[in-house]
Structures are given as C-alpha cells and as structure tokens.
C-alpha cells in the first residue's frame, strides 16, 4: 500500500508560537495533498487542498493567514499553524492523492497539537 508520513506525531507549544507539520508521501509522488482537522469523536473536517507548485485552496471558514500551507515538492506538503492559541489544539491529518490506475487518497498517521 501507499505510505504517508507526518512529523511530528505530537507537539506541545506555548500560545503565540508557530508550529510546522510535515506531510510526506514516501513511495509515490503526490501533486495533490489535503489537510484535515479532527476533533474527538468527530468526522474529518477538510481545511485545505494543497497543490504542488501553486497556492492552496482553503475551505470556507479556514483562515489562510493562520494555517499556511506549502507544497514545495511532489512528496512534501507542510502546514504551519501561526500564532497558535489553545483553540487550535486538535488532531491534524494530511492525505496524499495517488494517481495510479485509480485516484486514491492515503492518510498520514496524524499530528496531535496541544497549545498551552
């Protein structure tokens, strides 16, 4: 199967600091990656679609200046939470789109962010 990694798996930071989360597709190239946020016992909420070499497309209500996304290569997308606050504490998950015989999304293991 296709492997997607995320780093770090968990992070604790102070309010006001910025945190960067990396998402890598390890065994395939992904021109498109997605970033999700998930609250406890809830479904996944799409934050943005990341396209290699172009600007990310953000979902309605997601602050693009707060959640900076950079898709610098075909295997790496990063999400930076700027000036993090306690309400940004959540489980952030990325997925990468593999376009083989079919288009399939494969998810990373997630990053638990806690803002104190």
Single residue of 29, 109, 114, 116 touching other proteins by CB under 8 A: 109
Segment interacting with other proteins (CB under 8 A) among 13-21, 61-69, 74-82, 107-115? 107-115
Q: Does residue 102 interact with other proteins by CB under 8 A? A: yes
Residue 12: helix, strand or coil by DSSP?
strand
Query: In angstroms, rounded to a whole number, what is the distance separating the alpha carbons of residues 62 and 78?
Result: 16
Q: Computed from CA positions of residues 70, 44, 7, 105, in that sequence, does the dihedral angle turn out positive or negative? A: negative
Which residues of the shown chain bind other proteins in the complex (CB under 8 A)?
A: 1, 4, 6, 32, 34, 41-44, 46, 49, 91, 93, 95, 97, 99, 102-110, 112
């Amino acid at each position: 199967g296709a492997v997607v990694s995320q780093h770090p798996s968990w992070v604790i930071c102070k309010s006001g600091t910025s945190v960067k989360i990396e998402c890598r597709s390890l065994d395939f190239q992904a021109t498109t990656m997605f970033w999700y946020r998930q609250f406890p016992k809830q479904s996944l909420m799409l934050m943005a679609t990341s396209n290699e070499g172009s600007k990310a497309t953000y979902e309605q209500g997601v602050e693009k200046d707060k959640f900076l996304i950079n898709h610098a290569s075909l295997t790496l997308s990063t999400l930076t939470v700027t000036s993090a606050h306690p309400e940004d504490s959540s489980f952030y998950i990325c997925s990468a789109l593999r376009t083989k015989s079919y288009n399939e999304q494969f998810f990373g293991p997630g990053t638990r962010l806690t803002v104190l």
